[in-house]
């Protein structure tokens, strides 16, 4: 509105504002961050929607993601090719879902995706074991790991198929009001 910028057209910015939870300024700032990750790859002019993707290795190097145990899964869940290469749209999408204003249901869907390591639509025991190992740096013994995963499935599995479907997961999320504030990355 005030300052003239040449990175996006007004229609593009309107589309971003309508489809994500970010305002105009934040989108421009996000573009700045995206550009800094790979200045030679990312054009400054997005008006003709260039096809450019930043590889996974550069994105997980961001200070907001660097120390997160799930950084690879987070980036993979938002990438179209499943390998973690993000275009700017996917980058914005990722931080939009992880922002403060995203509703719980949307966050729950993506949290489920992140924890689903083998992408089979269920949190089976292997997924839970991998999650636990990432969270405790593999310092628990394997019996303890198994015990914890079994207890988790016992507690959360409602339909008795020995793995957690999305509805089991969501049921658990509704009983954890902190989820909205913990599943949140500030950028």
Partner 1 sequence: MTSSSSGGVFNPAYHDSETLEVDRRDKRSWTHHTNPYAGEDPAWWAERDDAEPGASSGGWRGGESFSMGLFSTSSGTNSWQHDANPHTPDSSSHYRSAAGLPSLMTGGMTMRWRGMAMRGMSMFPNADPTHAALAEDAIRSEVENEEQNLIKELIALSAGEQTRKIQELPQSFGEKKNIRRQVMAFKSSTNSHHFLCCTDCCRNMSLSFRRCGNGIKSARQTLKLWRGIMKEIGGRFGSSVLTYFLFLKWLLMFNIFSFLVNFGFITIPLLVHDLSANIPSNVSFRGLELLTGAGYFNYTVMYYGGYSNETLHGLVDYNMQLAYFFTIAVYMVLCGIVLIFSMASSFKKNYVLSDPASSRAWQLLCSWDFSLTNERAVRQRKNNLRVQLKESLSERAEKESITLSKELKQVGIHVGSWFLSTCLAVGCGASIFYLCQYGEEQAMDTAPWSLLQEAETLLVPFVVSLMNIVIPLFFSLFNKFERYSTHRRQIYALLIRNVLLRMSILGVLCYHWMNVVPQKYSCWEPMVGQALYRLVIIDFLFLMLGSFFGEFLSNVIGTKLQPRLGVPEFDVARNVLELVYAQTLAWIGIYFSPLLPAIQMLKFFILFYIKKVSLTRNCQPPRRSGRAAQMQTIFIFLLFFPFFVGALSIVAYTAWSLTPSEQCGPFQGLNNTFSVVSIWIHDLEAIPTSDWVVWIYQNVIRSELFYFLLTLIIIAIIYIFWQLTQGRKELINLLRQRIINVSLF
Spatial distance between the Cα atoms of 139 and 132, rounded to a whole number of angstroms: 10
CA–centroid distance for 97 within its chain: 7
The CB-of-111 to partner 1 minimum distance in angstroms stands at: 8
Q: Is 181 in the site for partner 1 (CB under 8 A)?
A: yes
Residue 165 touching partner 1 (CB under 8 A): yes
SS3 164: strand
Residue 35 or 111 with smaller CB distance to partner 1: 111
Q: How many CB atoms lie within 10 A of CB 123?
A: 25
If phi > 0 it is left, if psi is from -120 to 50 it is alpha, else beta; for residue 111 that is alpha
Residues 118-157 within binding reach of partner 1 (CB under 8 A): 118-123, 128, 131-132, 135-137, 139-140, 144, 147-149, 151-152, 155-156
Smallest distance, partner 1 to C-beta of residue 45, A:
19
61 touches partner 1 by CB under 8 A? no
Contact residue for partner 1 among 34, 85, 95, 168 (CB under 8 A): 168
How many CB atoms lie under 10 A from the CB of residue 87? 20
| Rounded least distance, CB 42 to partner 1, Å | 16
CA distance 71 to 74: 5
Question: Residues in contact with partner 1, total (CB under 8 A)?
Answer: 87
Instruction: Compute the least distance from the CB of residue 82 to partner 1, in Å.
Output: 6
What residues between 23 and 42 interact with partner 1 by CB under 8 A? 23-26
Stretch in the footprint of partner 1 (CB under 8 A) among 34-42, 51-59, 177-185: 177-185
Q: Which residues of 19-45 are buried (b: 16+ CB within 10 A; e: fewer)?
A: ebbbeeebbbebbeebbebeeeebeee
């Amino acid at each position: 509105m005030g300052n003239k910028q040449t990175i996006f057209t007004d229609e593009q910015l309107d589309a971003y504002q309508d489809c994500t939870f970010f305002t105009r300024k934040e989108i421009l700032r996000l573009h700045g961050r995206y550009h800094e990750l790979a200045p030679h790859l990312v054009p400054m002019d997005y008006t003709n929607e260039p096809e450019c993707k930043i590889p996974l290795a550069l994105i997980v190097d961001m200070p907001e993601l660097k120390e997160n145990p799930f950084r690879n899964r987070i980036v993979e869940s938002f990438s179209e090719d499943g390998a973690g290469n993000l275009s700017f749209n996917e980058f914005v999408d990722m931080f939009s879902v992880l922002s403060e204003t995203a509703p719980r249901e949307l966050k729950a869907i993506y949290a489920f995706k992140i924890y689903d390591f083998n992408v089979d639509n269920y949190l089976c025991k292997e997924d839970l074991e991998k999650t636990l190992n990432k969270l405790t740096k593999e310092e628990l013994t394997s019996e303890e790991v198994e015990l914890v995963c079994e207890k988790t499935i016992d507690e959360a599995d409602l339909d008795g198929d020995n793995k957690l479907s999305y509805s089991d997961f969501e049921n658990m999320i509704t009983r954890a009001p902190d989820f909205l504030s913990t599943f949140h990355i500030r950028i």
